[in-house]
């Protein structure tokens, strides 16, 4: 399913925005589908990991590996071949690997999920724009708190109220924009020369 997905127009508009802003732009994403990179986003922080990466399930080292391309796509009831299973073993200790993504009962950390560097970005930014997320998980909320605490502004682009609205709408520097992401990004790009 993930491999069939293609970057959409909004992924591309974010690339245009990054090209205009250069080092002033950073994309912190909860997406694990790799589509931002495929569209061309460079300054990216994947706080929930990347489904195309794997690491040792036994944590024998800190190494993160790309999932080998040689592994072909499967039907839902189709198993991996013996060769493919071998490719998915940890190259260092031979233990099984696991996807390098954050499962529901796991904790954020810096090494795999950019916990500290994303919080640092949020602290130093003047404008944090929230696109396409409702704020149901912990770190995105902390990012908003962090930006507001250090004097930055937050714009939440969402068609209806969400977790962010509930927690932050009374804050002076928090704005809800009732627009779809596409028209918001188009308008934003018009204002940047």
The residues assigned a catalytic role are 48
Using CB under 5 A, count the residues that bind Zn ion: 6
Which of 82, 170, 77, 168 has the alpha carbon at shortest distance from 130? 168
Q: Is 90 annotated as a binding residue?
A: yes
Beta carbon of residue 89, minimum distance to Zn ion (angstroms, whole number): 8
The answer to whether residues 126 and 155 touch, using CB atoms and an 8 Å cutoff, is no
Beta carbon of residue 32, minimum distance to Zn ion (angstroms, whole number): 22
93 lies in the binding site for Zn ion (CB under 5 A): yes
Subset of 102-121 contacting Zn ion (CB under 5 A): none
Report helix, strand or coil for 15. helix
Which of 107, 112, 113, 150 has the alpha carbon at shortest distance from 128? 150
Which of 74, 92, 120, 178 binds Zn ion (CB under 5 A)? It is 92
Which of 54, 56, 122, 129 binds Zn ion (CB under 5 A)? It is 56
Phi, psi of 111 (to 5 degrees): -55, -50
Interacting span for Zn ion (CB under 5 A) from 4-12, 54-62, 103-111, 140-148: 54-62
Q: If you search the block for the tokens 């690339």, which residue do you land on?
A: 15
CA 100 to chain centre: 13
The residues binding Zn ion (CB under 5 A) are 56, 60, 90, 92-93, 95
């Amino acid at each position: 399913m993930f491999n069939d997905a293609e970057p959409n127009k909004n992924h591309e508009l974010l690339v245009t925005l990054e090209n205009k802003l250069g080092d002033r732009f950073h994309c912190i994403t909860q997406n694990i589908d790799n589509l931002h990179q495929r569209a061309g986003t460079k300054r990216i922080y994947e706080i929930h990991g990347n489904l195309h990466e794997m690491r040792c399930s036994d944590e024998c080292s800190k190494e993160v590996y790309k999932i080998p391309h040689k592994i072909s796509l499967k039907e839902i009831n189709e198993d991996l071949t013996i060769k493919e299973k071998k490719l998915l073993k940890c190259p260092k200790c031979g233990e099984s690997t696991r996807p390098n993504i954050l499962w529901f009962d796991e904790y954020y950390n810096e090494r795999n999920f950019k916990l500290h560097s994303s919080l640092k970005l949020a602290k130093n930014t003047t404008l944090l724009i929230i696109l396409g997320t409702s704020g149901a998980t912990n770190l995105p909320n902390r990012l908003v708190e962090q930006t507001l605490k250090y004097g930055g502004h937050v714009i939440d682009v969402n068609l209806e109220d969400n977790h962010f609205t509930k927690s932050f709408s009374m804050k002076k520097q928090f704005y809800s924009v009732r627009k779809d992401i596409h028209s918001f990004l188009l308008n934003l790009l018009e204002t940047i020369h």
